[in-house]
Amino acid sequence: MELRAEPAVAGLEMSEAKSGAGGTSEGDDYESLPSHASFTTHMTAGAVAGVLEHTVMYPVDSVKTRMQSLQPDPNAQYRGVYEALRRIVRTEGVLRLLRGLNITVLGAGPAHALYFACYERIKHSLSNVIQNGGNSHLANGLAGSVATVLHDAVMNPAEVVKQRLQMYRSPYRGLFDCVLTVSRTEGAAAFYRSYSTQLTMNIPFQAVHFIVYEVTQERLNPERRYWPGTHMLSGAAAGAVSAAVTTPLDVCKTLLNTQENVALSSVHVSGHLSGMANAFRAVYRLGGVPAFFRGVQARVIYQMPSTAIAWSVYEFFKYFLTQRKHHGLEGPSRAAIDRAGTT
């Protein structure tokens, strides 16, 4: 599908021409969000973007979880993403690819609302200090890292449940059965067993992600207008790079979340595996260095469109909500001018 950004750009250029005599352009309002948009605007845009990011590419995420299994069942060994999707649909049904989607949606909405809102506010504050209000790559990276801490605190329990439901021959009947069983047999701490690893993965992931996104935007969209095509391309590039470089940590996180009994038993791990260092040792013992890159293809394929969707949807809602507020504020004054002109 071809993206057409010309109407949006043309509209912005027209608004700039109309405001050239001393008014403030709508494009300026869009890029001045930290001072004009409310915290609710960022949270609403972030929540919608997060839910769409996780749902549209969810079947590929299910494949990625299975491909990261260190000692998979012979019936769940796949050569590639397409072959995995085809076999799962043929042998287990289409709905099997959507197991865990419900808990993902419940977690993604509030997690991404906090994530984007905190990123925008912190980026703006740090940029004022570091670059006198200009774009600072250091501010972008730091803001993304801080926002990640809040995001993962909300999303980590959802990730644990989601990945256990995605595994081949998952023993859980559904969402509530998984939550109750894990709580009863492993305790509430099981939902945060991978939190330190998740942070260790996501802080560099998001730092790289935001830096690549902002750098790409500087090249493709230096005037920082609302331009859907550049947001999608920048988001895809940011997702691909950050996903590839953090795959080893994602493999460790998956092992901590799923607690694969067969794999852990083969390296003589009794009880439950916990801690990033122990996860690293277990992965290495199970497959050496190549094991740290299991599922890298599926991870990149999942992240590229997911982050492209997230950024384009987020930037659209940011633009839409800000423009609506802008016109709402301008409306009464314009009406008053019209009334004055008729008297």
- The residue segments making up the domain with residue 218 are 35-326
Q: Specify the number of domains making up the chain.
A: 1
C-alpha count within 13 angstroms, C-beta hemisphere, residue 95: 2
Q: What is the pLDDT of residue 156?
A: 95
Q: Is residue 4 part of a domain?
A: no
- What's the per-residue H, E or C state across 57-74? CHHHHHHHHHHCCCCCCH
Give the CATH number for residue 69. Answer: 1.50.40.10
- 228-241 per-position pLDDT tens digit: 899 999 999 999 99
Q: Is residue 137 part of a domain?
A: yes
Q: What is the pLDDT of residue 133?
A: 67
Q: What is the pLDDT of residue 44?
A: 86
The residue with greater pLDDT, 98 or 138, is 98
- 102-123 per-position pLDDT tens digit: 999 999 999 999 988 898 889 8
Q: What is the pLDDT of residue 25?
A: 40
Q: Is residue 202 part of a domain?
A: yes
Whether residue 331 is predicted with pLDDT greater than 70 in this model: the reply is: no
Structure tokens at 95: 């709905």
Q: Is residue 98 part of a domain?
A: yes
Structure tokens at 311: 């950024």
Q: Is residue 336 part of a domain?
A: no
What is the rounded distance in angstroms from the CA atom of residue 258 to the CA atom of residue 164? 5
Q: Is residue 21 part of a domain?
A: no
Q: Is residue 206 part of a domain?
A: yes
Q: Is residue 63 part of a domain?
A: yes
